[in-house]
Homo-oligomer: A and B are copies of this chain.
Amino acid sequence: MNRYKAPVRDMKFALYDVIGADKLYEKLGIEHASRDLLDAVMDEAARFNETVLAPLNAVGDEHGCRFDKATGAVTTPPGYKEAYAQFVDGGWSALTAPEKFGGQDLPESFGAALKEMIDAACLSWGNYPLLSHGATEALKHHGEDWQQEVFLKRIISGEWTGTMCLTEPHCGSDLGLLKTKAEPQDDGSYAVSGTKIFITGGEHDFTDNIVHLVLARLPDAPAGTKGISLFIVPKLRTARDGSTGERNAVRCGSIEHKMGIHGSSTCVMNFDGAQGYLIGQPNKGLNAMFTMMNTARLAVGLQGLGLIDRSYQNALAYARDRLQGRSLSGAKNPDKPADPLIVHPDIRRMLLTGKALGEGSRMLALHAATLVDVIERSRDADERKQADTLLGFLTPIVKGMLTEWGIECTNHALQVFGGHGYVREWGMEQLARDARITTIYEGTTGIQALDLLGRKTMQLQGAGLQMFMKMIQAFCTEHAKDESLTEFVLPLAEIAKQWGELTMEVGKKAMADADEVGAASVDYLYYSGYVALAYWWARAVVAAEAGSHGEGFKAAKRETARFYFARILPRTQAHAAAMRSGAGNLLGLDEAHFDS
B-chain residues with CB within 8 Å of residue A587 when the two chains form the complex: 345, 348
Given A174-B325, A177-B337, A585-B573 contact (CB < 8 Å): no
Does any Cβ of B come within 8 Å of A515's Cβ?
Answer: yes
Does any Cβ of B come within 8 Å of A539's Cβ?
Answer: no
Does any Cβ of B come within 8 Å of A439's Cβ?
Answer: yes
Does any Cβ of B come within 8 Å of A532's Cβ?
Answer: no
The stretch of A102-110, A119-127, A151-159, A444-452 in contact with B is A444-452
Complex CA gap A587/B325 in Å reads 17
Does any Cβ of B come within 8 Å of A517's Cβ?
Answer: yes
A519 near B257 with CB under 8 A, answer no
Chain A stretch 542-583: residues in CB contact (< 8 A) with chain B? 549-550, 552-553, 555-556, 559-560, 562-563, 566-567, 570-574, 577-578, 581, 583
A422 near B446 with CB under 8 A, answer no
The stretch of A132-140, A180-188, A372-380, A429-437 in contact with B is A429-437
Chain A stretch 582-596: residues in CB contact (< 8 A) with chain B? 583-596
A519 near B440 with CB under 8 A, answer no
Chain A stretch 59-101: residues in CB contact (< 8 A) with chain B? none
B-chain residues with CB within 8 Å of residue A567 when the two chains form the complex: 577-578, 581, 585
B-chain residues with CB within 8 Å of residue A260 when the two chains form the complex: 422
Does any Cβ of B come within 8 Å of A189's Cβ?
Answer: no
- Name which of A441, A446, A583, A587 has the most chain B CB atoms within 10 A of its CB: A446
CB distance from A201 to the nearest CB of B (A): 15
Given A173-B325, A325-B173, A596-B556, A344-B518 contact (CB < 8 Å): yes
Complex CA gap A436/B423 in Å reads 11
B-chain residues with CB within 8 Å of residue A517 when the two chains form the complex: 328
Complex CA gap A143/B400 in Å reads 55
Given A259-B432, A433-B433, A348-B586 contact (CB < 8 Å): yes
Complex CA gap A172/B429 in Å reads 18
B423 near A440 with CB under 8 A, answer no
Contact residue among B325, B593, B595 (Cβ-Cβ distance under 8 Å from A313): B595
CB distance from A315 to the nearest CB of B (A): 10
Does any Cβ of B come within 8 Å of A421's Cβ?
Answer: yes
Contact with B along A280-294 (1 / 0, CB 8 A): 000000000000000
CB distance from A467 to the nearest CB of B (A): 26
B-chain residues with CB within 8 Å of residue A519 when the two chains form the complex: 345-346, 349
B556 near A594 with CB under 8 A, answer yes
B-chain residues with CB within 8 Å of residue A436 when the two chains form the complex: 411, 414, 422, 429, 432
Does any Cβ of B come within 8 Å of A24's Cβ?
Answer: no
Contact with B along A192-224 (1 / 0, CB 8 A): 000001100000000000000000000000000
Complex CA gap A454/B68 in Å reads 58
Contact residue among B177, B424, B518, B563 (Cβ-Cβ distance under 8 Å from A586): B563
Complex CA gap A170/B454 in Å reads 53
B259 near A429 with CB under 8 A, answer yes
A346 near B518 with CB under 8 A, answer yes
Contact residue among B446, B555, B571 (Cβ-Cβ distance under 8 Å from A593): B555
Contact residue among B407, B522, B573 (Cβ-Cβ distance under 8 Å from A346): B522
Contact residue among B316, B323, B446, B588 (Cβ-Cβ distance under 8 Å from A559): B588
CB closest chain-B residue, reference A439: B415
Contact residue among B257, B258, B433 (Cβ-Cβ distance under 8 Å from A259): B433
Given A348-B586, A414-B436, A586-B563, A419-B574 contact (CB < 8 Å): no
B-chain residues with CB within 8 Å of residue A460 when the two chains form the complex: none
CB distance from A351 to the nearest CB of B (A): 6
Does any Cβ of B come within 8 Å of A278's Cβ?
Answer: no
B570 near A574 with CB under 8 A, answer yes
Does any Cβ of B come within 8 Å of A247's Cβ?
Answer: no
Complex CA gap A125/B594 in Å reads 29
CB closest chain-B residue, reference A7: B595
Does any Cβ of B come within 8 Å of A324's Cβ?
Answer: yes
Given A351-B594, A518-B346, A596-B552, A440-B418 contact (CB < 8 Å): yes
Complex CA gap A348/B589 in Å reads 9
A324 near B596 with CB under 8 A, answer no
Does any Cβ of B come within 8 Å of A484's Cβ?
Answer: no
* 10 new A-B contacts at CB < 8 Å, known A170-B323, A345-B586, A574-B574: A174-B325, A177-B323, A177-B324, A257-B423, A316-B595, A327-B515, A345-B515, A418-B444, A421-B440, A562-B585
A-B contact pairs, 5 of them (CB 8 A): A258-B424, A328-B454, A348-B587, A563-B586, A567-B577
Q: Which residues of A contact B (CB under 8 A)?
A: 167, 170-174, 176-177, 197-198, 256-260, 313, 316, 320, 323-325, 327-330, 337-338, 342, 344-349, 351-352, 355, 407, 411, 414-415, 418-419, 421-425, 429, 432-433, 436-437, 439-441, 444-446, 449-450, 454, 513-515, 517-519, 521-522, 549-550, 552-553, 555-556, 559-560, 562-563, 566-567, 570-574, 577-578, 581, 583-596
